[in-house]
């Protein structure tokens, strides 16, 4: 079986490399010439642990190659994964699915032999049937070109592992033939016990929206409780540990902090509310607006605490910031709360020095007027306040005594509640967390 992957951004590049790792011959279709040339040279244009080696290995072996030609992909592969982006149209609006439509329009006319087209992009519910109809209309192979909806749940930082060994596989609208082919594609994961759920298009599309909405809700829930903890002197970490012992709740995604960011959760909950509005059921999911509001408020809250720690004004003060990426093990700064906070403090007159192990370059592209440090100690040097905003392991490994030697004032705000508060306090620091006693 041969595979094509249409759209080689984050999802597509990972999927293509992982399919090659599973032993399939893969062609990736990427229309951006710069991205395509890099991938063809075996270079991943973003940071994702383990992916660089995988991609380079399979490009070198010839099992994975890249093209700009949908026709070449159509002639080559039996299964085509659509992995293009669905960005937010504008503030408060839904997802732009033009690239998904474009992928079908480009591929379908060349499908002269039986093909299964697999949608992986995150789309508003109702997109798949429209694409299926368009595919049937445009494909010369007609009924032999089928569409399956197979949402992707990978997390940045774990993208390779999540692709090779997903929690579950969801197939929407698969005929027995398409199911058989996809069972072959995912044979390794299935042999490991990954559950395969067969359902209709709408349910498969909604699983993704619902999963992200649930995760976002869980984070905003604990962040809302953190706000309450702060006013009564309770501790949100102890509280989350206690909640987490209840199997029905679980401890994961109950880490209070500066809130969620990235290219998925914020965009996807907004797109979901927007789509629900189009479907006349906005009231059913309007709570997600509050989930979003609670999340935005976290960032402002951190700026307010930082200002208070700097005696009411940040102007002219030096602030060291550890972290710019929206999460560790990623160089993604899309909707990053860390970068937002750093940017706000800068705009209010602080001298902000940011260090991130991987995201410095992407952050500098998005926010060029900030100062970027070469290492965490540089970022902390002469600081009146240190902010720990992205929980890279290397920050937790730093000795608070050594860091204390370079700052002007030993005060740290831990936006992720993960530093060893006792050790930092023992080294003479004033430590503040979020929702901590
Ligand atoms: C998310 C979903 O997890 C994934 O299934 C989907 O395919 C894409 O969107 P990702 O954006 O990579 O993945 O990151 P995730 O690990 O979910 O974290 C999202 C944000 O939530 C990060 O900013 C993270 O810092 C924050 N977060 C996560 C918290 O603030 N607290 C938590 O307890 C967990």
* Ligand 1 neighbourhood includes 260 CB (under 6 angstroms): yes
Instruction: Give bridge partners of residue 196 from the DSSP assignment.
Output: 169
Atom of ligand 1 nearest to the CA of 211: 5
What is the predicted ipTM? 0.98
Point out the domain boundary residue: 198, 225, 251. Answer: 198
Point out the domain boundary residue: 169, 198, 227. Answer: 198
Ligand 1 midpoint to CA 209 (Å)? 14
DSSP 312: T
**What one-character-per-residue DSSP string does 224-260 give?**
HHHHHHHHHT--HHHHHHHHHTSTTT-STT---SS--
* Ligand 1 neighbourhood includes 257 CB (under 6 angstroms): yes
Ligand 1 midpoint to CA 155 (Å)? 7
SS3 308: helix
Q: Which residue's CA is the nearest one to ligand 1's atom 19? A: 260
Point out the domain boundary residue: 163, 198, 233. Answer: 198
pLDDT for 157: 96
Other C-beta atoms lying within 10 Å of the C-beta of residue 315: 12
SS3 147: strand
Name which of 418, 417, 420 is nearest 226 in CA terms: 417
Per-residue pLDDT reduced to its tens digit, 141-198: 776 999 999 999 999 999 999 999 999 999 999 999 999 999 999 999 999 999 999 9
Does the structure show a pLDDT above 80 at 43?
Answer: yes
**Confidence tier at 267 by pLDDT (50, 70, 90):** very high
Per-residue pLDDT reduced to its tens digit, 207-254: 999 999 999 999 999 999 999 999 999 999 999 999 999 999 999 999
Q: Where are the alpha helices (DSSP H) in 354-420?
A: 360-366, 376-380, 393-396, 400-406
306 plus 340 within the same structural domain: yes
Atom of ligand 1 nearest to the CA of 156: 12
Q: To which residue do tokens 């789309």 refer?
A: 123
For residues 396 and 379, the answer to whether their CB atoms sit within 8 Å is no
Q: Average pLDDT over the chain, rounded to whole? A: 97
Q: Which residue's CA is the nearest one to ligand 1's atom 26? A: 260
For residues 385 and 409, the answer to whether their CB atoms sit within 8 Å is yes
Structural domain range at position 9:
2-198
> Which of 260, 335, 359 best tests ligand 1's pocket when mutated (most atoms within 8 Å of CB)?
260
Q: Where are the beta strands (DSSP E) in 235-350?
A: 318-322
pLDDT for 152: 97
185 plus 257 within the same structural domain: no
CA dihedral 317, 323, 325, 331 (to 10 degrees): 120
Rounded Cα gap, residues 434 and 371, in angstroms: 25
Phi, psi of 2 (to 5 degrees): -120, 145
pTM score above 0.90? yes
- What's the rounded mean pLDDT across residues 400-415? 98
261 plus 398 within the same structural domain: yes
Asked whether the CA dihedral 22, 27, 31, 37 is positive or negative, the reply is: positive
- Please list the active-site residues: 264
87 plus 221 within the same structural domain: no
* Ligand 1 neighbourhood includes 326 CB (under 6 angstroms): yes
Instruction: Say which residues have a Cβ less than 8 Å from residue 66's Cβ, sequence separation at least 6.
Output: 8, 27, 28, 29, 30, 36, 39, 40
CATH number at residue 264: 3.40.50.720
Q: Which residue's CA is the nearest one to ligand 1's atom 14? A: 155
Percent of the chain with pLDDT over 70: 99
> Which of 241, 327, 392 best tests ligand 1's pocket when mutated (most atoms within 8 Å of CB)?
327
Rounded Cα gap, residues 364 and 156, in angstroms: 20
- What's the rounded mean pLDDT across residues 385-413? 98
234 plus 270 within the same structural domain: yes
220 plus 191 within the same structural domain: no
**Confidence tier at 92 by pLDDT (50, 70, 90):** low
Q: Specify the number of domains making up the chain.
A: 2
Instruction: Say which residues have a Cβ less than 8 Å from residue 159's Cβ, sequence separation at least 6.
Output: 10, 14, 48, 51
Instruction: Give bridge partners of residue 412 from the DSSP assignment.
Output: 386, 431
Instruction: Give bridge partners of residue 228 from the DSSP assignment.
Output: none
* Ligand 1 neighbourhood includes 156 CB (under 6 angstroms): yes
> Which of 15, 222, 262 best tests ligand 1's pocket when mutated (most atoms within 8 Å of CB)?
262
206 plus 193 within the same structural domain: no
Rounded Cα gap, residues 316 and 123, in angstroms: 45
pLDDT for 347: 97
The vertex-57 CA angle with 53 and 60, nearest 5°, equals 140
Instruction: Say which residues have a Cβ less than 8 Å from residue 149's Cβ, sequence separation at least 6.
Output: 118, 119, 128, 170, 171, 172, 173, 201, 204, 205
Per-residue pLDDT reduced to its tens digit, 355-378: 999 999 999 999 999 999 999 999
Other C-beta atoms lying within 10 Å of the C-beta of residue 312: 8
pLDDT for 143: 65
- What's the rounded mean pLDDT across residues 294-303? 98
For residues 298 and 258, the answer to whether their CB atoms sit within 8 Å is yes
At 207, list the tokens. 């699983």
pLDDT for 91: 72
211 plus 155 within the same structural domain: no
For residues 387 and 413, the answer to whether their CB atoms sit within 8 Å is yes
187 plus 273 within the same structural domain: no
Instruction: Say which residues have a Cβ less than 8 Å from residue 13's Cβ, sequence separation at least 6.
Output: 28, 39, 44, 45, 51, 55
CA gyration radius, the chain = 23
Ligand 1 midpoint to CA 73 (Å)? 33
At 66, list the tokens. 């890249």
Ligand 1 midpoint to CA 336 (Å)? 11
Q: Which residue's CA is the nearest one to ligand 1's atom 33? A: 253
| Helices and strands: H and E segment counts in the chain | 20, 14
Element (H, E) at 337: helix 337-347
171 plus 228 within the same structural domain: no
Ligand 1 midpoint to CA 253 (Å)? 8
219 plus 72 within the same structural domain: no
**Confidence tier at 6 by pLDDT (50, 70, 90):** very high
- 319-338 core/surface letters (b: 16 or more CB in 10 A; e: else): bbbbbbbbbbbbbbbbbbbb
420 plus 402 within the same structural domain: yes
């Amino acid at each position: 079986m041969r595979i094509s992957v249409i759209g080689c951004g984050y999802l597509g590049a990972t999927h293509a490399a992982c399919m090659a790792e599973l032993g399939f011959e893969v062609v990736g279709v990427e229309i951006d010439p710069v991205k395509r040339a890099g991938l063809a040279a075996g270079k991943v244009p973003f940071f994702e642990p383990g992916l660089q080696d995988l991609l380079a290995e399979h490009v070198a072996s010839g099992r994975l190659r890249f093209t700009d030609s949908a026709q070449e992909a159509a002639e080559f592969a039996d299964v085509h994964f659509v992995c293009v982006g669905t960005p937010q149209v504008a503030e408060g609006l839904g997802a732009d699915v033009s690239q998904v439509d474009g992928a079908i329009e480009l591929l379908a006319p060349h499908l002269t032999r039986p093909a299964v087209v697999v949608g992986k992009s995150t789309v508003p519910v109702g997109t798949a049937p429209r694409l299926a109809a368009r595919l049937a209309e445009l494909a010369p192979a007609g009924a032999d070109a089928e569409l399956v909806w197979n949402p992707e749940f990978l997390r940045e930082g774990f993208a390779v592992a999540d692709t090779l060994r997903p929690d579950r596989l969801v197939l929407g609208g698969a005929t027995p033939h398409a199911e058989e082919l996809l069972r072959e594609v995912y044979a390794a994961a299935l042999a490991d016990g990954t559950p395969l759920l067969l359902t209709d298009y709408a349910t498969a599309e909604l699983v993704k929206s619902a999963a992200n909405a649930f995760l976002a809700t869980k984070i905003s829930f604990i962040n809302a409780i953190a706000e309450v903890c702060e006013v009564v002197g309770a501790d949100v970490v102890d509280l989350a540990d206690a909640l987490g012992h209840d199997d029905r709740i679980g401890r994961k995604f109950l880490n209070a902090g500066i809130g969620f960011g990235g290219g998925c959760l914020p965009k996807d909950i907004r797109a979901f509310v927007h789509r629900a509005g189009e479907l006349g059921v906005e009231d059913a999911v309007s709570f997600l607006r509050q989930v979003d509001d609670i999340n935005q408020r976290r960032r402002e809250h951190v700026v307010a605490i930082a200002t208070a720690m700097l005696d009411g004004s940040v102007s002219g003060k030096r602030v060291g910031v550890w972290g710019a990426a929206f999460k560790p093990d990623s160089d993604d700064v899309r909707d990053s709360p860390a970068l937002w906070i750093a940017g706000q403090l800068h705009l209010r007159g602080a001298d902000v020095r940011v260090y991130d192990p991987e995201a410095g370059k992407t952050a500098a592209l998005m926010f060029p007027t900030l100062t970027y440090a070469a290492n965490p100690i540089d970022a902390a040097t002469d600081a009146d306040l240190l902010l720990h905003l992205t929980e890279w392991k290397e920050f937790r490994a730093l000795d608070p005594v050594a860091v204390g030697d370079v700052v002007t004032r030993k005060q740290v705000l831990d936006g992720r509640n993960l530093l060893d508060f006792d050790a930092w306090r023992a080294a003479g620091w004033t430590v503040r967390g979020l929702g901590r006693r």
